[in-house]
Amino acid sequence: MTKKQFKHSFFRGLGSAIIVLEKCVDKNQYRDIVLYACLNNTTYDMQCEGERGLYLFHAIELLEDMDIFERSIIERFKNVRHDYWLFDQLTSLLFLFAKKGSEKAQKALYEKYELLLHKIEEMRNIPSMYEESDMFEGLSVWLTALNGFDAFKKIISDYGRNIAKGKSDFFAFDWFYANAQNKFGKKRIGKYLQKEAEKSVEVKAFYESVQIIDNWIYKQLPRPTLEDVIQNAYKVKYRSRGTAMQFARNASEDELKKLAEMALSESNLNIKADLLWAFRRTKYKFSDEILQDLGRSENEDIRDTAYYIMGQTPSEKMHEAALSIISDGNELENGIKLLCRNFKKEDEKILFESIKKVRVSKRSLWHGAYMAIETAFDKGSWKPQTEILKYIYENTLCPCCRWRIVKLMNQHKVLTKQILNECLFDSNNDIRVFAARKLKSHVGVRQ
């Protein structure tokens, strides 16, 4: 595997890159790529995917140069300031080093903990505080995973001290509390807090805040009116879309008709896009002519919504329109999405050739087109005539989507033993578990 191919696979979190490291004689050629991925966030969407600590740590172990990697990661960890997702990845790596017995990693984690604790004690209602507060909470969760209930006891005392002094708001750390309940058990947590609250001012402050959370009642907001939708659309771009969809969910046919008329007559394209957004989850019928006209709008959001609505009602006319759009090439991604909604088995070769033309990068509009392939293949179990599923498996930047593609490959009987062996080392845990189960059972596994 060339360095370019390795980078392609490793940055996507594919198990094939790990297998190369296992078998390769000259591992050093890939060292810089692995180090870069450890020190930078190379994921497509870490919030959705989760950190890649285990995947990256496996690669580090195979390179057999733990000290160099650990020093670099600690240095980066000390200096990261305003990137929560990178911070979480670095924390996960140091957690794994510490689990292996590294005192340097454990020291770095606790030094950062004390630094962040001091910062959030000193700062109040400062924008940068919120990101560092998130880092502190995330680090606290990792420390309870590393050092168990002893870490939990120290952390709640520190949290409680801030709360007691009026310098911290427990509600910022409700995830830590919920995680601890899952980790150690609600009863154990409850008994400990109740008992220690009688002895410690800090724990008492934490416990009283916990009780607020435990007794919190979420009030359901009233259903927005058509007037609410219109008013919000004129305020801030995008903010009104949730209101519009909530309104449309239970709107009458007459209400939807009024909203549609207002959207179509609106001259401000950004507002028009927000109003039309409501129809992405309704069965309201626009004419094909109106939708195709919207699909030619100069506004990208309007075009995307128009194509989305077109795909909600498959028809021969929409099938022909999709083929025409793909042939034209100007709206390739939207054409692919529309064709997938109107998919026929004989479209597979056209779809494969089209998807190969879609440029895949963090900034390009590939994701919707790749996800649409799932729509085309989610029913039935025919034998594909192309390698379209394997192509997407190897090229998607999103491991969550890759997991769904792996299931489709299994459904369509194209999941080979080679791919399953790669999947054992994938960055996505669901894929790893699935592959282990399939290989153990040998059911439906192609050689």
Q: Is residue 234 part of a domain?
A: yes
| Residue-wise pLDDT tens digits, 129-154 | 568 888 999 999 999 999 999 999 99
> Is there a domain that residue 375 lies in?
no
> Does 299 map to a domain?
yes
Q: Which amino acid is at 142?
A: W
Does the residue 219 lie in any domain? no
Q: Are residues 57 and 188 in the same domain?
A: yes
The whole-number pLDDT of residue 127 equals 47
Q: Report the pLDDT value the prediction gives residue 135, as an integer from 0 to 100.
A: 93
Per-residue pLDDT at 123: 64
| Whether residues 193 and 305 fall in one domain | no
Regarding whether 198 and 98 lie in a shared domain, the answer is yes
Torsion over CA: 57, 63, 69, 73 (sign): negative
Buried b (16+ CB within 10 A) or exposed e, 275-292: bbbbbeebebebeeeebb
| CB 83, CB 91: distance < 8 Å | no
Number of domains making up the chain: 2
Q: Is residue 39 part of a domain?
A: yes
Residues of the domain holding 97: 3-214
Does one domain contain both 68 and 210? Answer: yes
Sign (positive or negative) of CA dihedral 365, 370, 373, 374: negative
- The verdict on 177 and 297 lying in the same domain is no
Q: Are residues 16 and 160 located together in one domain of the fold?
A: yes
Q: Do residues 70 and 181 both lie within one domain? A: yes
- The answer to the question of residue 344 being in a domain is no
Report if residue 404 sits inside a domain: no
101-110: long-range contacts at Cβ-Cβ below 8 A with a sequence spacing of 24 or more? 102/70, 104/70, 104/74, 105/70, 105/74, 106/146, 108/74, 108/77, 108/78, 109/139, 109/142, 109/143, 109/146, 110/143
Give the pLDDT of residue 365. 81
pLDDT of residue 382: 93
Same structural domain for residues 278 and 133? no
**Angle between the N-to-C axes of helices 127-164 and 84-99, in degrees from 0 to 180, rounded to the nearest 10:** 50
Residue 303 maps to a domain: yes
Q: What is the pLDDT of residue 168?
A: 60
Please tell me whether residues 179 and 240 are part of one structural domain: no
Of the residues 172, 187, 214, the one at which a domain ends? 214
Q: How many whole angstroms separate alpha carbon 276 and alpha carbon 290?
A: 12
Q: Which of 285, 313, 341 is the last residue before a domain boundary?
A: 313
Residues contacting 48, CB < 8 A, separation 6+: 398, 400
187, containing H or E segment: helix 186-196
Q: Do residue 164 and residue 287 come from a single domain?
A: no
What does the pLDDT profile of the chain (447 residues) look like in tens digits? 899 999 999 999 999 999 999 999 899 999 999 999 999 999 998 888 888 999 999 999 999 889 999 999 999 999 998 899 999 999 999 999 999 999 999 999 999 999 998 887 776 544 455 688 889 999 999 999 999 999 999 999 998 888 887 666 555 688 899 999 999 999 999 999 999 999 999 999 998 888 876 666 556 678 888 888 888 888 766 667 888 888 988 899 999 999 999 999 999 999 999 999 999 888 888 998 999 899 999 999 999 999 999 988 888 999 999 999 999 988 899 999 999 999 999 999 999 999 999 999 887 789 999 999 999 999 889 999 999 999 999 999 999 999 999 999 999 999 999 999 999 999 999 999 999 999 988 665 666
Q: Could you tell me if 282 and 145 lie in one domain?
A: no
Contact 375, 407 (CB under 8 A): no
Calpha distance 371→391 (Å, rounded): 13
Among the candidates 295, 313, 331, a domain finishes at 313
Please indicate, yes or no, whether residues 240 and 209 belong to a single structural domain of this protein: no
